[in-house]
């Protein structure tokens, strides 16, 4: 029976990691539903972007208060969880603080962890106050209802509990306190339990230890369902983010193919495909559903932090328009999740559900409100590009449905007839100087 805790720990660890692996597999499957896109260029710049933006948090600190607090939580949470290695070894083999053999170094590490735990607690409390008491506007936009609003608070509660359990675990570890090395914070908490018997203190320590590791496993598996998936995806997302100038739009390969065909006198556009060859469905011009978007755009959707910096910088949103770049990304993720569940329910194949991203989630009014200023792209702390999705869906509206606004149709007609957006003959454009 001495091995029962080790067996239970191994079962919990395998179950937690197994469920996480299953969700990761599903995540990769959903992202791969997107169209192929070549992002193998500018590798050195991509590595620099990932190091600077994801690891260095360079865009977060542009808003000093939130940025500084986020850096504390980010660094603290990552570094403190280094202790997970020790917890896993102790849990599997029944050892006690196996790294304490190197007492001086161990004391420095644990002391650092305890200080960071307190800083994380303070930062998380400040975040909670900003979100729920001060009610910063970008956290209370129309799209931040129900789950999106609650999700952020759940994570804050999670982190409060995990940091508290870590400090209580150290404070009630009698042998650790007797070492008097690394207990820079927990030594002040330990007297709270001085009136209890030694077996009771040991029970509290074991309970805190178990709840700490189980809480981390729960948190790990909660990430898939949360906006905090960016903890993992921020790194690949910043690597695969746009490296070309922000104002440079991509050419649609389907359009390029059609133009080349039109200009090639040797091509018969009405020719039947060779015998035995499968008839290829013509590619869409633009995007109407998540399968029409690139896999990088779908990765963007899963990486969205829902911080609202994009929406708070959007001039269209600031002037009362319906557009919210954050909602664009949230809707894309919601639709992608719906498609993924559809595939799961139909033995790995997508069954048409009569829905699509355009219309059922994102309206034409939102799309045409965009000024293409790239403010949202510039503001995003993890290199998400909502504008690319907006542009692709606009392309679909114009080229597939001929559903452009009247003003845009008039402009394109003028360009076709007059070579300019204005409704004047080229010979008459300078008449204004004589008025």
Question: DSSP secondary structure string, 292-356?
Answer: GSBHHHHHHHHH-----HHHHH-HHHHTT-S--HHHHHHHHHHHHHHHHHHHHHTTTS----S--
Task: Quote the CA–CA distance of 333 and 298 in Å, as a whole number.
Answer: 7
In the chain, where the domains are located: 4-31+63-234, 253-264+283-418
Task: Quote the CA–CA distance of 44 and 166 in Å, as a whole number.
Answer: 39
- Closest C-alpha among 150, 147, 128, 66 to residue 330: 147
pTM: 0.87
Answer whether CATH 1.10.1060 is correct for domain 253-264+283-418: yes
User: Could you tell me how many helices (H) and strands (E) the chain has, helices first?
Assistant: 20, 0
* DSSP-derived secondary structure letter, 50: I
Q: What is the pLDDT of residue 396?
A: 93
**Token pair 């015998």 is at which residue?**
275
**Token pair 């001086």 is at which residue?**
104
Q: What is the pLDDT of residue 360?
A: 92
Q: What is the pLDDT of residue 269?
A: 63
Q: What is the pLDDT along the chain (435 residues), one digit of tens a residue?
A: 577 888 898 999 999 999 999 999 999 999 999 999 989 888 999 999 999 999 888 888 888 888 888 888 888 877 777 778 888 888 888 888 887 777 788 888 888 888 999 999 999 999 999 999 998 888 888 888 888 888 989 999 998 998 999 999 999 988 888 888 888 899 899 889 888 888 899 999 999 999 999 999 999 899 899 988 998 999 999 999 989 888 888 888 777 877 777 777 776 666 656 665 555 666 788 899 999 999 999 999 999 999 999 999 999 999 999 999 999 999 999 999 999 999 999 988 999 888 999 999 999 999 999 999 999 999 999 999 999 999 999 999 998 888 888 888 888 888 888 888 888 777 777 777 777
* DSSP-derived secondary structure letter, 245: -
Q: What is the pLDDT of residue 284?
A: 80
- Closest C-alpha among 59, 57, 69, 219 to residue 130: 69
3-state helix, strand, coil in the chain (%, to 5): 65, 0, 30
Q: What is the pLDDT of residue 99?
A: 76
Tell me how far apart the 2 most distant CA atoms of the chain are, in Å: 102
Are the CB atoms for 304 and 333 separated by under 8 Å?
A: yes
Task: Quote the CA–CA distance of 182 and 103 in Å, as a whole number.
Answer: 9
Residue 288 phi/psi, 5-degree rounding, is -120, -15
Are the CB atoms for 383 and 237 separated by under 8 Å?
A: yes
């Amino acid at each position: 029976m001495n091995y029962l805790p080790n067996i239970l720990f191994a079962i919990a660890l395998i179950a937690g990691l197994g469920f996480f692996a299953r969700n990761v597999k599903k995540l990769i499957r959903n992202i791969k539903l997107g169209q192929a896109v070549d992002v193998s260029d500018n590798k050195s710049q991509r590595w620099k972007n990932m190091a600077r933006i994801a690891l260095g948090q360079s865009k977060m600190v542009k808003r000093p208060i939130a940025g500084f607090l986020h850096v504390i939580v980010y660094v603290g949470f990552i570094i403190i969880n280094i202790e997970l290695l020790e917890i896993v070894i102790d849990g599997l083999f029944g050892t006690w603080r196996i790294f304490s053999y190197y007492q001086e170094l161990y004391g420095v590490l644990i002391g650092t962890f305890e200080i960071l735990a307190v800083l994380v607690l303070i930062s998380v409390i400040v975040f909670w106050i900003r979100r729920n008491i001060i009610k910063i506007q970008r956290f209370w936009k129309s799209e931040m209802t129900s789950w999106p609003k609650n999700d952020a608070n759940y994570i804050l509660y999670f982190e409060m509990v995990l940091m508290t359990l870590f400090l209580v675990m150290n404070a009630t570890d009698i042998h650790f306190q007797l070492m008097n090395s690394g207990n820079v914070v927990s030594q002040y908490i330990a007297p709270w339990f001085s009136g209890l018997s030694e077996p009771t203190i040991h029970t509290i320590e074991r309970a805190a230890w178990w709840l700490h590791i189980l809480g981390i496993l729960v948190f790990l598996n909660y990430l898939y369902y949360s906006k905090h998936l960016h903890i993992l995806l921020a790194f690949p997302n910043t690597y695969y983010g746009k490296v070309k100038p922000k104002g440079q739009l991509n050419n649609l390969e389907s359009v390029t193919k059609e133009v080349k065909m039109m200009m090639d006198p040797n091509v018969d556009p009405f020719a039947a495909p060779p015998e035995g060859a499968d008839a290829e469905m013509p590619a869409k011009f633009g995007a109407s559903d998540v399968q029409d978007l690139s896999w990088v755009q779908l990765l963007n959707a899963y990486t969205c932090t829902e911080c609202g910096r994009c929406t708070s910088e959007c001039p269209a949103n600031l002037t009362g328009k319906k557009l919210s770049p954050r909602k664009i990304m949230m809707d894309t993720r919601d639709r992608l999740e719906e498609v993924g569940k559809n595939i799961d329910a139909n033995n790995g194949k997508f069954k048409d559900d009569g829905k699509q991203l355009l219309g059922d989630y994102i309206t034409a009014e939102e799309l045409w409100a965009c000024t293409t200023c790239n403010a949202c792209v510039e503001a995003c702390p993890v290199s998400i590009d909502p504008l690319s999705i907006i542009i692709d869906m606009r392309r679909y509206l114009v080229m597939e449905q001929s559903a452009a606004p009247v003003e845009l149709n008039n402009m394109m007609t003028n360009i076709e007839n007059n070579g300019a957006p204005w409704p004047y003959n080229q010979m008459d454009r300078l008449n204004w100087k004589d008025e």
